Amino acid sequence: MSETMIDVDEFAARARAWLAENMPPANPDRDTFFLYAATHPTDEEVLARAATCRELQRRLFDGGFAGICVPTRYGGQGLTPAHQAAFNREIKGYDYPAEIQASTFIPCMAVLLEFGTEEQKQRHIPRMLRGEEIWVQLLSEPGGGSDAAGAVTTATRDGDRWILNGSKVWTTSGWWGDWALCLARTNWDVAKHQGLTVFSLPMSAPGLAISQIELVNGSKDFCQEFLTDVVVPDADRIGDVDAGWNVMGRWLYHERTISGGSPYVTGGGNRPNDGPYEPAAMIAAARRLGTIDDSRTRALLGEAQTSSLVLRALVESVTRKMAGGVLPHHAAAMTRLFGGTSNARRAAIATELYGGAGVVWAPGEETAAQVGLGYLTRQAACIGGGTTEMARNVIAERLLGLPREQRADTGAFRDVPRGPQATGGQ
Amino acid sequence: MFTQTADQDLLEATTEQYLEATYPPTRIRELARQDSTFDPVLWKRGAELGWTSLLVPEGSGGGSVSGNGLADLLAVAFQFGRHAAPGPLIGTNVVAAALGRWGSKERHGGPLAELFDGAATAAWGYSPRTGPRAGAAVRAGRSGDGFLLDGVVPCVESGAPNGYLLVAASGSDTTADGDDARSHYLVPLDAPGVRTSPLGGIDLTRRHAAVTLQEVAVAANAQVGEPGSADDHDELLLDLTAVLQAGEIVGAMERAFAMTLRWVNDRYSFGRPLGSYQEIKHRMADLRTQLEASAAVTEKAARRVGEGTPDAHSWASAAKAHVGRVGPEVIQDCVQLHGGIGITFEHDLHLYLRRATVDAQLFGTPATFTDRLVGLTETALAATAQDGGK
């Protein structure tokens, strides 16, 4: 830490003045995060928003507020998590590039910082911080969601380059991202965790076909990719050959920090607020619907607000305990589990609160539509970023030390049973 | 579970050692057969560990070990829950807090000193606005320089026979609008006209009583705080009580969970440990997460109430609403995982289920606090709207 580092309060004051001059106010009535947007945007609207994110990110960079915890030699500010936290408090109420925090900065930039070569870091991180490179994650595959190490997308060495074949899925923002981290199998003759390698590649690479997946709420931001003889230079490999699972450990850790505690995230995570699930929004809705004095409605409102306060306290407490070494980092699975189940419950409460208004609405009733459509995709809260079932396994096995599940995948990966629908492989 | 400073660790460790040695489960079962569970000598020793002075400002003779007395006391309450220990910890501290904040040295220095050194205990005679015990009221009338108190306090925790009761009474003071306003009075339980009748209950070591006041004469200096301030002050006392109850419930949850974790490792069915079945593992993961979440919201509430922040009432409400509902359910699930042995008197699980259930239901149910939270949010929103309109 340099002795001339700017004091946090002074930094916050500078940020406050700069934000007032340079950043537009947020529009609290419109949830821009595509997955939750009720009136699902057209592709043109998404691209326009992406352009705004790039432009806002560039402003942060020019103002000296991008990459607050990133070393200055990569274009960051070289400050501390306390500075980032102070900035995140100041930026409340302003529009900011919320949609590119995940995946560009966590996990992708965080992984590059830890595992990238000096050349890779010099090449990509300044461009990420200037909003010029949006990064996505080529991780999950059609053949397995929770079993990330079971990847069958294969990279075959060809001199000083690699040839990638296979398919990836659940890539957030895949169709408008610029670069990606990609997990691929480089060795089928060793145990599954030992034959993986991480690569970086441009989403415009020849042989990479991208198709958008439509969700039940109309969102089309998730993608599936098909890789056919995609060429990746060895210089774009991240970490050692067959050591991809070491990288994955940190990759998944950084991905989980989206719920709080990452020094690389600007703002309050990916969403400006809880939208229709905010206590104030729910109370306003009950007033509008004329049910605010009904004791059953009040019980629902109170339950929803209680659960969001408990979640907030839990995230703060577990983050603090992990930082202080009181709890191991596996404890993050508890916030993931509680976050998933309590968000699912809040979606159910909102649906009951809105009643008919949430399932049948007049044009322009965006919040009511958000509630109804949000209910349809409710289980995303318990699936995305690792299912709650996996979180329960982690808690039981890693935190409580209960016996591990019996494994059928310990031999050479080539011999691991993959079921009648399996595709890919050698 | 809650401590964050070395001094808090020391306070918790000495409390834990003392309760472990004094109240092992065998002793708790013996106390179950006794009419009174209060032991003046043992209570005094606890007071010497600092149990009764943490919520009182230094200027009034108290003091905290971390700067936030409620956060300190939470560690003690947690250990009370873990041991299902007897002793009117919550009531004594809540009344001490009231005397320390709103009393004066000349008027209440004597009783406060007795609470500090453990010579006396105290109970807060809170009457809920709703529920089966609602509407109970105490009236105060002026009599010479002092007051005459009449009425019923339906349920207080028993402690020292020479203890104190803090009770709100109406009839002697009015608000600026001329409405009847309640004031707090400190009543010695051995004063003439005070009758206590023991109540039954599910906690093995806590005894409760109904208190009838019949023309109880108290001096003018028995009034605590400004005349007519009791309704406001009760809200803070309710916060303190809710947070400490939640702390005890978390202690009871922790003990029940630890017993269950040992059990699912040691118990074999069909040739495997119970804890090797994924159904059981996932249940244990849920219980562990609920324990951590309950501890987190309680700790946060203790900090906010201790600091007196504007959102303190909301955090205290969330803590009691959540922990009061989830805590006993977590322990019930521990019973389920134990099977039949879990509902026998011989097993220790019920000691903690009893304590958690009593704490959850007394001084406002989880439902009451859920509604309180909504009301507070409505008030805050109305205030913001008004500010915005100016």
Superfamily of domain A273-399 in the CATH hierarchy? Butyryl-CoA Dehydrogenase, subunit A, domain 3 (1.20.140.10)
Q: Residue A225 and residue A136: Cα distance in Å, rounded?
A: 12
Whether A128 contacts A136, CB under 8 Å: no
State the ipTM, two decimals: 0.94
Domain range annotation of chain A: 137-253, 273-399
Give the range among A94-103, A132-141, B257-266 with minimum mean pLDDT: A94-103
Distance, in angstroms, between A196 CA and closest chain B CA? 28
Q: Give the residue among A70, A60, A59, A61 at the shortest CA–CA distance from A106.
A: A70
**Using CB atoms and an 8 Å cut-off, which of residues 333-362 of chain A contact chain B?**
333-334, 337-338
Contact residues, chain B, for A349 at CB < 8 Å = none
Helix, strand, or coil (residue B152): strand
Q: Residue A56 and residue A23: Cα distance in Å, rounded?
A: 8
Cβ-Cβ pairs closer than 8 A, A with B, add up to 119
> B292, B322, B377: which to substitute to probe chain A, counting the most A Cβ within 10 Å?
B292
Asked if A306 lies within 8 A of B373 by C-beta distance, the reply is yes
DSSP-assigned letters across all residues of A92-125: TTB---GGGIIIIIIIIIHHHHHH--HHHHHHHH
Region B286-300: mean pLDDT is: 98
Residue type, B196: T
CATH of A137-253, one of 2.40.110.10, 3.40.50.300, 2.60.40.10, 2.40.10.330: 2.40.110.10
Q: Residue B332 and residue B262: Cα distance in Å, rounded?
A: 16
* Strands (DSSP E) found in chain B: 122-125, 138-143, 146-157, 164-174, 180-188, 194-199, 208-218, 223-224, 268-269, 272-273
Tokens encoding B119 = 């010579």
Cα dist from B41 to B17, B22, B87, B120, B349, whole Å? 17, 12, 11, 11, 28
CATH of B124-228, one of 3.90.1170.30, 3.20.20.100, 2.40.110.10, 1.20.1260.10: 2.40.110.10
Q: How many helices (H) and strands (E) does chain A have?
A: 13, 8
Q: Give the residue among A332, A320, A348, A325 at the shortest CA–CA distance from A385.
A: A332
Distance, in angstroms, between A89 CA and closest chain B CA? 18
Region A362-369: mean pLDDT is: 84
Which stretch of DSSP H or E encloses residue B89? helix B89-102
Please tell me the predicted confidence (pLDDT) of residue A29.
Answer: 61
Domain range annotation of chain B: 6-121, 124-228, 232-380
pLDDT > 60? residue A37: no
Instruction: Provide the CATH number for the domain formed by B6-121 in this structure.
Output: 1.10.540.10
Asked if B377 lies within 8 A of A307 by C-beta distance, the reply is no
Please tell me the predicted confidence (pLDDT) of residue A39.
Answer: 60
% of chain B at pLDDT higher than 90: 85
Architecture of domain B232-380: Up-down Bundle (1.20)
Dump pLDDT digits (tens) for B79-107: 999 999 999 999 999 999 999 999 988 88
> B268, B289, B315: which to substitute to probe chain A, counting the most A Cβ within 10 Å?
B289
Tokens encoding B304 = 């906010």
Dump pLDDT digits (tens) for A284-341: 999 999 999 999 999 999 999 999 999 999 999 998 999 899 999 899 999 999 999 9
pLDDT > 60? residue A34: no
Dump pLDDT digits (tens) for A163-217: 999 999 999 999 999 999 999 999 999 999 999 999 999 999 999 999 999 988 8
**Using CB atoms and an 8 Å cut-off, which of residues 290-309 of chain A contact chain B?**
292, 295, 298-299, 301-303, 305-307, 309
